[in-house]
Amino acid sequence: MKIISLEIKKMSIGKFFPRESKVELDIFFNDGSDKEIFQIVDSSDAEGSAEAVLADLRKMEKNIHRSSQNEEPIVENFVNIVVKNEGKAIKEIAKFIQKIEARMEEIKSKNAAEGYLERIRQLKSLKVEF
């Protein structure tokens, strides 16, 4: 059995789609080496999206570290992914997604051009570090 420690380092915003309430998150993490992935999540369901981010990271890590040889004993093929401070990470990711949703609502409700680009800059500058 392989045990892989996974630590989320930082999240920031890539692209965002206010009409669909979706946002692309740039996720920086470490599983023994630093890696980065992009994932599009639904910002209207912050808690569900936070759990989906961790579930997708786990699935990806299992696929990376799974042994491709069928000759090894079955126990050797099991991969256990341990997320450092998982409960805190889910809460922080959910809070971050809620902030993103609030900023996207401000952008959607803005009718005048004045201040529009500044609101977009503020949204793009959001990030969370763990």
Cα–Cα nearest to 96, from 39, 33, 20: 39
- Once rounded to an integer, what is the mean pLDDT over residues 21-37? 93
Q: How far is CA 2 from the centre of its chain?
A: 24
Instruction: Say if residue 108's pLDDT is above 70.
Output: yes
- What letter would DSSP give residue 21? T
DSSP string, 34-100: EEEEEEEEETT-HHHHHHHHHHHHHHHHHHHHS---TTS-HHHH-EEEEETTHHHHHHHHHHHHHHH
Instruction: Count Cα neighbours of 48 within 13 Å in the Cβ-side half-sphere.
Output: 7
- Listed range (1-5, 16-20, 103-107, 116-120) with the worst mean pLDDT: 1-5
**For the stretch 5-26, what's the b/e string if a residue is b when 16 or more beta carbons lie within 10 angstroms of its beta carbon?**
ebbbeebbbeebebeebbbebe
What is the model's pLDDT at position 103? 92
Query: Domain map of the chain by residue range?
Result: 2-129
Looking at residue 111, its pLDDT comes to: 76
Q: What is the pLDDT of residue 89?
A: 92
73 against 37, higher pLDDT? 37
Q: What is the pTM of this model?
A: 0.83
Q: Which residue has the higher pLDDT, 30 or 73?
A: 30
Residue 72 has pLDDT above 90, yes or no: no
